[in-house]
Structure 1
């Protein structure tokens, strides 16, 4: 079994959130936050090295993905609401001394949660993510495919009705595509089988500011950038060499300007969904980082 962990559920702002919580309950917690269109399954190869190092590993499925509740109402899926969901989850489990690991939309949501509950954060790792309001990458400035997705009906048709994101989108965003198609792709498409439950796969892309009148998150990203620049907790940057969505020479470098104290950049094999190609290596990098930043696992939760 590829994801052999006990399913748990928490009520988060009135929604049912699925998560796993493995390792000693009194150990320093590591929170793994995914983005679009993934779920906790993305971290399956990252988790074992963290558990072997003695950490508590907590992996929620963001509301709208995985085994969590998938609201159909689009008003539920604002960036503010998703940040609030991570905050409520932290409060519900009373997690302290947390190492936040933020990938893709796990960056804006996780960093927003750190800004809101700074006393719960001990360290942070970023991977293929951003926290600023200007167009995040050249990829997102292209008319095809990205801005095309902002057009009326198109995003809903391709990403919603035809599941383009968990299917072909992810397939194109890993290095070892044959292995991904054979061993992993079904793990993403199976949990998003209903078109009505795929709303967030195209609402989140439309939430990326690209300089259009329809941008809805410009102010929130301005706040995120301001808050992220003020963070002084231990940090590390891990990136895929082949990432063609958030290129390492631009985006990993930007994080080091935010956080001159950050470790890395640790480059590993991988495109945007870097965990699919280098999960175990990332897990060991995170275990080593967290051991330096917050101490070894058992008994170190603060």
Structure 2
């Protein structure tokens, strides 16, 4: 497996993102070493909050949420998925699969030696993050899901179908433009450039290109059985589980319902609808930080 690594100078001087590089080395099943980056800030003994991003963003998505959580005394960990951000990027689309992503992040998580985790996950951060919850339920104390899902081949939304067609057909994959389109507010030129920073050219975008095709929306997709197995675990998950979807996301609209119905820990929780687009972290970061803090304090 050939692996690309984004030069460090691509990340120099990003506004509101002062965090030093922090890497964990793992080894793929084929023997290829991979380096996974994560923001890891705050006291090491403090309650850990795990923030997981999706497609095609990276931990920069949480830049306005991390400081508020740090101010409230939490340890904040925001990894970059393989293929994104400062993490290594396998060069071929065929190098990426749903199960490989889950394995990569499972290996990363077990190397962190953390427990009592509060997870906030959005987009593919949920598709992967909820698999981690199912596999390592004893490590997680609370879960918040936002604009995400754990699909099992039962179909998609018109919004996702449009996204899939666009992602596979556009000749230049406009990462910063995609983030801008997926928010209610307009991103600045500098913000869009920061989302483009991990990808010096199209050769670095194999993972971003591949992700939409990996969502198991039909019975024929890979990972349907694995997600079904994960749902069996989630259907016994009694720890606090909150939905915080936005009001303006055509891709995941209505996706909160299945979690509220099937996850025991979701019963009786003060579920919320936030104002924002698909990338709600850009539209309502203060509300998200306050929500996470309140959820932890109300569920000690």
- Secondary structure of 2:90's match? coil
Q: Provide structure 2 residue ranges, at least 5 long, that are not aligned to the other structure.
A: 1-14, 28-32
Q: Does 1:10 align with 2:24?
A: yes
Partner of residue 253, structure 1:
257
Matches within 5 A, 1:53-202: 53-133=72-152, 134-140=154-160, 142=161, 144-146=162-164, 148=165, 155=168, 158=170, 161-164=171-174, 166-177=175-186, 180-202=187-209
TM-score normalized with structure 1 length: 0.86
Contact 1:132 1:224 in 2 (8 A): no
**Alignment root-mean-square deviation, CA:** 1.9
Cα gap change, 1:293 to 1:90, in 2 (>3 Å):
farther
- State the alpha-carbon separation in 2 of the partners of residues 222 and 116 from structure 1: 13
Q: Does 1:224 align with 2:230?
A: yes
- Secondary structure of 1:110's match? helix
Contact 1:9 1:18 in 2 (8 A): yes
Match of 1:240 among 241, 246, 255: 246
Match of 2:43 among 21, 24, 27: 24
- State the alpha-carbon separation in 2 of the partners of residues 256 and 102 from structure 1: 16
Matches within 5 A, 1:277-292: 277-292=283-298
Matched residue pairs, number?
Answer: 278
Partner of residue 299, structure 1:
none
Residue 200 of structure 1: how far off its partner (Å): 1.3
TM-score normalized with structure 2 length: 0.86
- Secondary structure of 2:114's match? coil
Contact 1:135 1:208 in 2 (8 A): no
- State the alpha-carbon separation in 2 of the partners of residues 252 and 217 from structure 1: 21
- State the alpha-carbon separation in 1 of the partners of residues 120 and 129 from structure 2: 8
Contact 2:236 2:264 in 1 (8 A): no
- State the alpha-carbon separation in 2 of the partners of residues 92 and 209 from structure 1: 28
Residue 181 of structure 1: how far off its partner (Å): 3.5
Residue 79 of structure 1: how far off its partner (Å): 1.1
Cα gap change, 1:261 to 1:220, in 2 (>3 Å):
closer
> For residues 155-199 of structure 1, what are the alpha-carbon distances to aligned partners after superposition, in whole Å with 9 as ceiling and x for unaligned?
2x62xx5023x133222110012xx14342111112122211101
- State the alpha-carbon separation in 2 of the partners of residues 119 and 31 from structure 1: 15
